[in-house]
Amino acid sequence: MRTRLLIAATVFAATAVAQKSGPRTADGHPDLSGMYDIATLTPLTRPGFLGERMSLTDAEAKALAESTAAKNAKLNEPSDPNRPPPPAGGDGSEGPAGNVGGYNTLWVDSGTGAFKIDGQWRTSIVIDPPNGRLPPMTPAALKIGAARGKMNRPNRGDAWWMADSSSPGPYDDPEVRPTAERCLLGFGVSAGPPALPVMYNNLKQIVQTKDKVMILNEMVHDARVIRMNSKHEPPEIRRWLGDSIGHWEGDTLVVDTTNFNDQPALSASRNMHVIERFTRVDAKTLRYKFTVDDPTVWTKPWTGEMVWPATDARIYEYACHEGNYSFAGILRGARRLEAEAAAKTAPRK
């Protein structure tokens, strides 16, 4: 009787653990399939005044969530129909000057609070370096970045260090516009790797099989296909999202990505190497940890981690396509400004 009770208790405990950690696939691995919403108020890098402080108190986390909610509620109030027009030459930012702003707050979905890991409300996604900031850039990257700043080039979100004084201006042709603006990749590092939260459309869907794991990104419907227990493609084959291969280390899915092209989503180079780790914390949460190594851009690797909470929300069409209507206006507007500038400097007859 005692043996049977011990066996029953062991089975019950194992079942409870399995239920807590979520379902498993037929081959025994954690089933990571599902929909996740990674929107968060926790920033990628830690505000400098926090130093190496990794966590917020409960009161600080509550204050952050409440102040953000109050700000959004204020911005979503009905507009005064009798308000004056915004000032000429507004820079597109919202503020007391009444500039137009790039987005109505209705469309912004950057989360309702910070995320918690190991019982701590994190102050940044980056955890190494310990100050929660990105490591120093290499001298070469700094030098070319400074030249880029003098050229007043846009923040392309791609291989900006390839720019030089002979490069075309930011509005000379569609190819030098940001990849997100061209609907080739989501802005920020939405699809990854590493996959990071942005201003909106933060849903991810994981579909898992024995041989492949697919991560569908809501923005620009980028789909990463991770080949399990495989080898990287030859170095001459380069991809927007790199070449991802995966394997299991216990209950953690480890994804190794190389072979990026010259315009990866993260402002890195084709030499970037990313290691990601997906671990199920419970039935409704994944722990996502990653390390970025790009000796072309940063003096040492850096690491971040966050949670991916499950959601019942669904991914709908992100209606963005290359060659959209905006480009005709962007390029035509640039030619108009150039003509006006030339007319002002032309000698009078």
The predicted pLDDT at position 1 comes to 53
The predicted pLDDT at position 5 comes to 47
Number of domains within the chain: 2
DSSP of 47-101: -GGGTT--EE-HHHHHHHHHHHHHHHHHHTSPP-TTPPPPPTT--S--STT----
3-state secondary structure of 211: coil
Bigger pLDDT: 248 or 324?
Answer: 248
The predicted pLDDT at position 318 comes to 87
Q: What is the mean pLDDT of residues 140-150?
A: 69
3-state secondary structure of 201: coil
Q: List pLDDT tens digits, range 17-55.
A: 444 568 899 989 999 999 999 999 999 999 999 999 999
The answer, yes or no, to whether residue 141 has pLDDT greater than 50, is yes
Which range of 60-69, 138-147, 175-184 scores highest in mean pLDDT? It is: 60-69
- Check: CB of residue 169 under 8 Å from CB of residue 183: no
Give the whole-angstrom CA distance, residue 27 versus residue 128: 34
- Check: CB of residue 121 under 8 Å from CB of residue 114: yes
42 domain residue, yes or no: no
Q: List pLDDT tens digits, range 169-228.
A: 678 888 878 888 888 888 888 988 999 999 999 999 999 999 999 999 999 888 999 999
Q: Provide the residue type at 261 as one letter.
A: N
Reported for 140-144, long-range contacts at CB under 8 A and 24+ positions apart, including other chains, are 140/296, 141/296, 141/297, 141/298
85 domain residue, yes or no: no
pTM above the 0.95 mark?
no
The predicted pLDDT at position 148 comes to 54
Mark whether 203 and 298 lie in a shared domain: yes
Mark whether 261 and 200 lie in a shared domain: yes
Q: What is the mean pLDDT of residues 226-236?
A: 96
96 domain residue, yes or no: no
The predicted pLDDT at position 349 comes to 67
303 domain residue, yes or no: yes
Q: List pLDDT tens digits, range 119-134.
A: 999 999 999 999 999 9
336 domain residue, yes or no: no
Residues of the chain with pLDDT > 70: what percent?
A: 82
Which of 101, 94, 120, 105 lies closest to 42 in space, CA to CA? 120
Retrieve residue 34's tokens.
């599902």
Mark whether 60 and 14 lie in a shared domain: no
Mean pLDDT of the chain: 84
Give the whole-angstrom CA distance, residue 300 versus residue 134: 9
Residues of the chain with pLDDT > 90: what percent?
A: 54
Sign for the CA dihedral angle at 170, 171, 176, 182 comes to positive
Mark whether 23 and 135 lie in a shared domain: no
Q: What is the mean pLDDT of residues 140-153?
A: 62
Output Rg (C-alpha) for the chain, integer angstroms.
Answer: 24
- 116's enclosing H/E stretch is strand 116-117
Contacts of 152 (CB under 8 A, 6+ apart): 170
Mark whether 180 and 282 lie in a shared domain: yes
Mark whether 17 and 140 lie in a shared domain: no
Mark whether 251 and 206 lie in a shared domain: yes
Mark whether 23 and 67 lie in a shared domain: no
The predicted pLDDT at position 17 comes to 45
332 domain residue, yes or no: no
Mark whether 23 and 110 lie in a shared domain: no
331 domain residue, yes or no: no
Which range of 313-317, 320-324, 326-330 scores highest in mean pLDDT? It is: 313-317
Mark whether 132 and 246 lie in a shared domain: yes
82 domain residue, yes or no: no
The answer, yes or no, to whether residue 312 has pLDDT greater than 90, is yes
Give the whole-angstrom CA distance, residue 69 versus residue 51: 26
Mark whether 20 and 58 lie in a shared domain: no
The answer, yes or no, to whether residue 274 has pLDDT greater than 70, is yes
Which residue range(s) make up the domain with 196? 48-71+104-309
Mark whether 271 and 155 lie in a shared domain: yes
